[in-house]
Structure 1
Amino acid sequence: MKKWIVAACLTASVVLAQGQTVLITDSIEIAKPKLTFSAFADIYYLYDFNQPENHERPGFVYAHSRHNEFALNNAVIGAAYTSDVVRGNLGLHTGTYVQRNYAAETINGSEVLKYIYQANVGVRLAKGLWLDAGILPSHIGYESALSIDNPTLTRSLMADNTPYYETGAKLTWDISDKLTISGLVLNGWQRIVETDQNKALGTQIQYKPTKGVLLNSSTFFGKEGTYRYYHNFYTVLDLIEKVTIIAAFDIGWQQQLDITGKKDGTKTWWNPNLMVRYKPTDKVAIAGRVEYYNDPNNIIIAPTALPDETFVTGFKTFSPSLNLDYFPIESVALRIEGRLYSASNAVFMKDNQTKKTDGIITTSMAFKF
């Protein structure tokens, strides 16, 4: 990737800083610098009705991945520094989510990088224009790595199989209260440790046409073996009191090569997702989700390995879920969720036999401050 592209696209995420303002020049006011600390933990018990003997859920699941075991999904401690001209975040984490999702993040045999949740620094270049660089949250999707921030307990197939995090730089421009645009240069598709000489590009546009409506478009373009283009679209609707609706649709294209290495078209995967959450009181919430994941060529989700060393190819799966949340205090969530997976072919395993369905019940106690 040409160096001038990298230089032109260095970028950053947006954090709003509040506090007493102090005049430092005739034209720029900055907020009084603020240093805050945070912590999060998610302890869960999950029962998978396919009863995997090794306690590991299928390979396309990265969060809440252990069966019939009380486990720590993730625990995070962090610090954030904010002012009107400089900001930064540093966080460390551990848990079953970290062990599974960061398995590839090793450098010279060391696994130290997998325990970094965030590490980024940002500077304000002009009014509404920020440049951040480092290990950043993903710009794709509406779900967080912290379960307590999500409307459903488990993450969607869409979220679990797109980046949770990314490393690079992000330039964000708050054009108005309604419109924010960002551009990114990244090491790759969810990658801290660079594995080749290529860089990836990303964009994000968020538009709020009216109160209670958010439209988001995020893209990724980079070389993941071959060239990959991915587009994530979602809308958040808070138009009805106590009800939140989120609708999303993702689609990706991966370049294909023939046996001689020449271009041979593209393969496509796609995923619609709909979530409705009702929160009748500050202490209770109910959420339902339906989604369908279509990856017929196993671009993202690997084929199912069988005991005889053959594979079941193609992944076309429908997954509804329903969860109930109770918040005894604002910073603590007690949650239970039931979820079903129903595939068009036998991609799930039980007792060394393939089957088309799977079901789980997940409970969680999480806190965040």
Structure 2
Amino acid sequence: MKKSVLNTLVALLLSMGNLLAQLTTPAPSTDSTASPASRLTFSGYAEIYYVQDFDQPRAHERPGFLYNHKRNREVNVNLAFIKAAYAGERLRGNLALQVGTYAQYNYAAEQPLLRNIFEANAGVKLAKNRDLWLDAGIFSSHIGFESAISKDCWTLTRSLVAENSPYYLAGAKLTYNSPNGKWTLLGSVLNGWQRINRLPGYTKPSFSTQVQYRPNSAVTFNWSTFMGADRPDSLKQTRFYNNIYAIINPTGKLGLMAGFDIGADRKPLTSQGQRVGSGSYVWYTPVVIARYATSSRSYVAGRVEYYDDKNGVIISTGTGTTDRTNGFQTWGYSVNYDYAILSDRSDVSAVWRIEYRVFSSRDAIFAETAFGPARRTNQALTISLAISF
């Protein structure tokens, strides 16, 4: 059944592409300066991976707070998609269909048909002489400096902050880019915290903003926010989330990313209508990534991160917070090596990557293994090959 649905979606994508190509291809012109280039483009991406979890060798899945490169000890597809994009002077649109374990785990809460949609959006330019766009649909999240497309990220696997904040959003957004290219301002109305379908019992809209400043090509500063909830209206748990990061020298010999995210959910109401307590449940996560170009084709990168969610708002460990337990308070460390196999070709690229990653938690949150009880640490080696065209 799933295969037939996917085949139908692919056929729809191709037929839409052919129709758009016919509608948007300019009529023949005798003017030699007229550009024959089509505004409709097709692209694709696929990432194959293998993970060896040293501490849970018999487990089929990586820890529950990870959504990418999820399957253990098997060759699998993390993310593969085919995309059609239209870019005109006043109109634009994207449609991308996906498969892979990323979609399987990260879209588990969505309706089955929607799990195969990576992007589906359309936009209109609101001002002739200003870079001001209104877009609506399903689109990649602007929250964070990492995406689900591994080849665009400095590390093979995603950081804890990326895995546990929105990868995609659904709604409408207004985006403005300044004439000098230094500022990007964004405001959006959303269905929720990484939700295409609304959470049952939640009827209010959510909002998100972004302010990004690029003083030059070597430096980027970003502040994004989310305001809404990811709980039913009856609990009255308003969420406010801040995503702050800086990227320095991204295309140079040595680059640095540093981010700090902090979120707060107001404490819920009980069945008697009383607030559990004053204030909010707060979680936060800093991360630093450094990358060094060892040649024109290869990089090494290292990452240090920490995630503190002792109340289990985003990551529930089942341990709770008592005098003897600490919830989710975990350090992460990783080092990876990347080699661009086909970097000299403009139409196709291929990147081979390998990464060693360690988690160290205050509580024994990692599942019982073949060698003993639950552990406080977890180690894994991940290998991937990503191809794009």
Decide: shared fold, TM above 0.5: yes
Matched position secondary structure for 1:148: helix
Please, which of 365, 373, 376 is the counterpart of residue 347 of structure 1? 365
Deviations 1:207-251 (A, max 9, x none): 012341100000000021121100000001018831111000000
Equivalent-residue separation in structure 2 for 1:250 and 1:128 (angstroms) = 29
Q: Which residue pairs with 2:221 in the alignment?
A: 215
Please, which of 185, 192, 196 is the counterpart of residue 181 of structure 1? 185
Contact 1:187–1:194 (Cα < 8 Å) also in 2: yes
Q: Are 2:92 and 1:87 equivalent residues in the alignment?
A: yes
Gaps of at least 5 residues in structure 1 are 1-20, 22-29
Q: Which residue pairs with 1:124 in the alignment?
A: 125
Q: Which has the higher contact order (CA 8 A, sep 6+)?
A: 1
Please, which of 250, 253, 261 is the counterpart of residue 250 of structure 1? 261
Which TM-score applies when normalising by structure 1?
Answer: 0.86
Matched position secondary structure for 1:355: coil
When residues 68 and 136 of structure 1 are mapped into structure 2, their CA distance, relative to the original with a 3 A threshold, is: same
Deviations 1:298-338 (A, max 9, x none): 000012489xxxx9760000001000001111210100000
Equivalent-residue separation in structure 1 for 2:50 and 2:362 (angstroms) = 28
Per-residue deviation, 1:262? 3.3
Q: Which residue pairs with 2:338 in the alignment?
A: 325
Deviations 1:241-276 (A, max 9, x none): 311110000000001025333343201000000001
Structural mapping, 1:60-139, within 5 Å: 60-106=65-111, 111-126=112-127, 127-139=130-142
Per-residue deviation, 1:281? 2.1
Contact 1:304–1:348 (Cα < 8 Å) also in 2: no
Please, which of 321, 328, 335 is the counterpart of residue 353 of structure 2? 335
Equivalent-residue separation in structure 2 for 1:241 and 1:145 (angstroms) = 23
Per-residue deviation, 1:33? 5.5
When residues 31 and 211 of structure 1 are mapped into structure 2, their CA distance, relative to the original with a 3 A threshold, is: farther
Q: Are 2:210 and 1:204 equivalent residues in the alignment?
A: yes
Which AA in structure 1 matches 2:53? D
Equivalent-residue separation in structure 2 for 1:175 and 1:231 (angstroms) = 23
Q: Which residue pairs with 2:19 in the alignment?
A: none
Matched position secondary structure for 1:270: strand
Structural mapping, 1:299-314, within 5 Å: 299-304=313-318, 314=327
Deviations 1:281-307 (A, max 9, x none): 22111111100000010000012489x
Higher deviation after alignment, 195-204 or 47-56: 47-56
Higher deviation after alignment, 142-151 or 190-199: 190-199
Count of paired positions: 334
Q: Are 2:370 and 1:356 equivalent residues in the alignment?
A: no
Contact 2:326–2:362 (Cα < 8 Å) also in 1: no
Q: Are 2:288 and 1:274 equivalent residues in the alignment?
A: yes
When residues 211 and 116 of structure 1 are mapped into structure 2, their CA distance, relative to the original with a 3 A threshold, is: closer
Greater CA radius of gyration, 1 or 2? 2
Contact 2:219–2:249 (Cα < 8 Å) also in 1: yes
Q: Are 2:194 and 1:190 equivalent residues in the alignment?
A: yes
Please, which of 244, 248, 263 is the counterpart of residue 233 of structure 1? 244
Which AA in structure 2 matches 1:347? I
Per-residue deviation, 1:31? 11
Q: Which residue pairs with 1:17 in the alignment?
A: none
Q: Which residue pairs with 1:16 in the alignment?
A: none
Q: Which has the higher strand share?
A: 1
Equivalent-residue separation in structure 1 for 2:269 and 2:148 (angstroms) = 37
Q: Which has the higher helix share?
A: 2
Equivalent-residue separation in structure 2 for 1:305 and 1:56 (angstroms) = 20
Per-residue deviation, 1:83? 1.3
Equivalent-residue separation in structure 1 for 2:238 and 2:368 (angstroms) = 36
Equivalent-residue separation in structure 2 for 1:273 and 1:31 (angstroms) = 46
Contact 1:50–1:350 (Cα < 8 Å) also in 2: no
Matched position secondary structure for 2:161: helix
Which AA in structure 1 matches 2:260? F
Q: Are 2:297 and 1:283 equivalent residues in the alignment?
A: yes
Which TM-score applies when normalising by structure 2?
Answer: 0.82
Q: Are 2:64 and 1:48 equivalent residues in the alignment?
A: no
Please, which of 155, 163, 168 is the counterpart of residue 166 of structure 2? 163
Per-residue deviation, 1:359? 0.5
Gaps of at least 5 residues in structure 2 are 1-25, 27-34, 232-236, 344-348
Contact 2:57–2:73 (Cα < 8 Å) also in 1: no
Task: Quote the RMSD (CA, aligned, Å).
Answer: 2.2
When residues 335 and 175 of structure 1 are mapped into structure 2, their CA distance, relative to the original with a 3 A threshold, is: same
Equivalent-residue separation in structure 2 for 1:116 and 1:258 (angstroms) = 35
